[in-house]
Structure 1
Amino acid sequence: MNETAKLKAGCQTFTWEMLGKAWTGNADDLLAAIAAAGYAGIEITDTMIPPYADRPQDFARALETHGLTLVAFACGSSSGFTEADALEADLAMVDRALRFTAHFPGAILSLGSATIMSPGPLDDKFAVAGRFYNGAGELGRVVGVDVAVHPSSHHDTLLSSRADYDRIMALLDPALVGWVPDTGHILRGGQDILDTLRTYQDRIRYLHLKDVDAGGHWRMLGQGICNLKGVIDIVAAGPNFNGWLVLEEESDIAAADPAAAVRANRETLRRAGI
C-alpha cells in the first residue's frame, strides 16, 4: 500500500464518548455527523453501538444509508485485559463482538489497551494480556475477522513507553494479532514515533491519527508535533495496512463541539492530499 490515492479517511466515535453523560445522542446521530463531515468510514465502540448491539443487519443498513463503511468495532473491559480471573469472561465478550463484526467484510475487531486494574507484579499483568490478545486472535481466525490491539497512554495503561510496546509485541503472535498504532498515544508515551512505526510496520492493520503538543496535551490534527507525512508514509508502506486512516480527537475543542472538531480534522487531511 504505497499510493496516497488508496488511503481512506475514517472517524472514531470516542470523540463523543469522552463527553460521558453530556452526550445524549445515539449511534444514528454519530453516523449522520461523521458522514456530514466527509468521512468514508467509522470505527465505533461497544459503548456507542446501541441500539444496534444485537442488530448487525440493521446497522449495516444504517451505514449504507450514510455511505459509510465499518472500519472497526472497538471493545474494552473493566478487567483491563490484565486480570487472570476475568480471562474467560473477556474472551466470551470477544466471541460475541467477533460475531457482530463478521457481518461487515473487512472490518477489524480492535481491542483496547491492557490496563492495570489491581496491585500485582507487572510480569503477571503482561502475561495475562498476552494470553488474552492471542486468545482473541485465535477466535478471530475461526470467524474470519482480523483482531488488533490498540495501546493507549491513558491512566494506568500497561502499554505506553517503547519498552512496553516491545514487551507486549514479543508476547503476541503476529499471525493472530495486529496493531492499531495511535499517533497521539505513541507521542504521549515519549516514543520516537517513526522508529516505533518502522519497527512494527508489518503488524499495522490501520492507523489512529491524533495530535499532541510537546507537553503531551491533546491538540487538533496538524496543530501539534505529529509528523503527519512521515507517519503516513511509513504506515502506508506496511504490508498488512488496509488503507484506513481513522481520525480521533480528544482536545478541548472536541469537548466543546465534537462534530465541528472532526469536520476540521477531515479538512486538515484533505489539505494533506487525502
Structure 2
Amino acid sequence: MITYGCQTYTWQMNLNCYQDKLTAILDVIQQSGFRGVEAEVFMLGAYYENPKLLSGDLAERDLRLAALTLAEPWLEMEETAEERANADKLIRYLQHFPEAKLILVQLPGKDHMNIASRQQTAIACANAIGKRAYEAGITAAYHPNSPSGSVFRTEEDYGILFAGLDDRYVGYCPDSGHIARGGMDPVKIFTEQMSQIKHVHFKDYDLQTSEWRTMGKGTIPHPELISLLKQSGYQGWIMVEEESAYAETHPDEATRENGRYLSQL
C-alpha cells in the first residue's frame, strides 16, 4: 500500500515564520488529507526532546511519522565527532518510531570544487550511519538533491552514488523533482533503481521554465510514477515536498492544493 505524506521543507523555506510551529503544520497536513509527516531534525523543536509528545500529537490527528531527515556536510571519510553525535541521537530518537525511515542528505556546497572527494566522503559517511541505523532496527535511505553545489546531481553522479552505497544498509530515496532538475528522466531512474527504493519524494518541476511548481502544474509525469511504483509492489511512503515560489510565501495553501491534486489521482 502506498501512503501519502508531507515533507516540512515546504514550511522550512520560510524558517523565520515556521520554526517551532510543527504542531500547526501537523494540523494543515491532516486537514489536507495526508497521512504522515517527514521533517528535518531542527523543525521538530521541543518534540526532539520528547518523543512521547510527538507520538501523542500525531495520534490525535491520525498521522504517522514517516521519516526524519539528517542533513550534514560529511566532508571527511569519517564523520566528525559532532556529525556522529547528531546521527546517533537521531537513531535513538527513531527507535521510538521504528517504522519511520532515516533519510540522509549531504548539504550542498557553494561550488563543485573537489567534487570527487566530496562524493566519496558522502558515501562513506552514509554507509557508516546506515550500518548503525540497521543495527538499531532503523531503515536508512539516501536522498540526492540538485542545487548547483550538490555532488550527486547528474546521471554520471548518480552512477557513482549507486555504485558506492552499501545496499545492505542504505537504500535510495528518489526525489522526482531533483531528478528532473538534474537533467534525468524520473521514470527511467525509478525503473532502474526500483529494487533499492525505500522511500519516495515527489515535487513538481517545469522543464520549460526551469522552475518548481505546485503538484500537477509542472512537467513531471507523477501519475506514471505512481503506476510504476504500484506495479513494482512498492509499499511505503510518497512524501510531497513543495519548493515553488508560491509555497515559500503560502505553504499552507500550497499543501492544500497538493492534497486536492493527489485526491483526484
Shorter-chain TM-score: what band? Answer: over 0.9
| Cα separation, 1, equivalents of 2:133 and 2:114 | 29
Q: Is the 8 A contact 2:98 2:137 kept in 1?
A: no
Alignment correspondent of 1:33: 28
Identity %, equivalent residues: 28
Alignment correspondent of 1:50: 45
User: In structure 2, which of residues 214, 219, 240 is the aligned counterpart of residue 220 of structure 1?
Assistant: 214
DSSP 3-state at the match of 2:48? coil
User: In structure 1, which of residues 63, 66, 70 is the aligned counterpart of residue 61 of structure 2?
Assistant: 66
Alignment correspondent of 1:141: 134
* Post-superposition offset of 1:117: 6.0
Query: What residue ranges of structure 1 are gaps of 5+ in the alignment?
Result: 1-5
Alignment correspondent of 1:116: 109
| Aligned: 1:202 with 2:195 | yes
Change (3 A) 1:21 1:140: same
| Cα separation, 2, equivalents of 1:25 and 1:105 | 24
Alignment correspondent of 1:105: 98
Aligned residues: 264
Change (3 A) 1:168 1:7: same
DSSP 3-state at the match of 2:38? strand
Query: What residue ranges of structure 2 are gaps of 5+ in the alignment?
Result: none
2:205 partner amino acid: V
Alignment of 1:1-274 (within 5 A): 6-23=1-18, 26-77=21-72, 80-84=73-77, 86-113=79-106, 115-116=108-109, 121-214=114-207, 215-238=209-232, 241-272=234-265
Change (3 A) 1:39 1:157: same
Q: Is the 8 A contact 2:177 2:203 kept in 1?
A: yes
Q: Is the 8 A contact 2:20 2:43 kept in 1?
A: no
Give the stretch that moved more between structures: 106-115 or 117-126: 117-126
DSSP 3-state at the match of 1:51? helix
| Cα separation, 1, equivalents of 2:79 and 2:97 | 28
DSSP 3-state at the match of 2:141? strand
Q: Is the 8 A contact 1:212 1:225 kept in 2?
A: yes
Q: Is the 8 A contact 1:46 1:74 kept in 2?
A: yes
After TM superposition, the score normalised by the length of structure 2 is 0.93
Change (3 A) 1:46 1:255: same
1:166 partner amino acid: G
* Post-superposition offset of 1:56: 0.9
| Cα separation, 2, equivalents of 1:188 and 1:182 | 10
* Post-superposition offset of 1:114: 5.3
Q: Is the 8 A contact 1:236 1:243 kept in 2?
A: no
After TM superposition, the score normalised by the length of structure 1 is 0.90
Aligned CA RMSD, in angstroms, stands at 1.8
| Cα separation, 2, equivalents of 1:163 and 1:173 | 18
| Cα separation, 1, equivalents of 2:18 and 2:24 | 11
2:12 partner amino acid: E
| Cα separation, 2, equivalents of 1:170 and 1:24 | 37
DSSP 3-state at the match of 2:145? coil
* Post-superposition offset of 1:206: 1.7
| Cα separation, 2, equivalents of 1:267 and 1:17 | 22
DSSP 3-state at the match of 1:76? strand
Q: Is the 8 A contact 2:112 2:150 kept in 1?
A: no
Per-residue CA shift, 1:88-129, capped at 9, x if unaligned? 432321111011111113100111135336885322212111
* Post-superposition offset of 1:236: 3.1
* Post-superposition offset of 1:137: 0.8
* Post-superposition offset of 1:230: 1.6
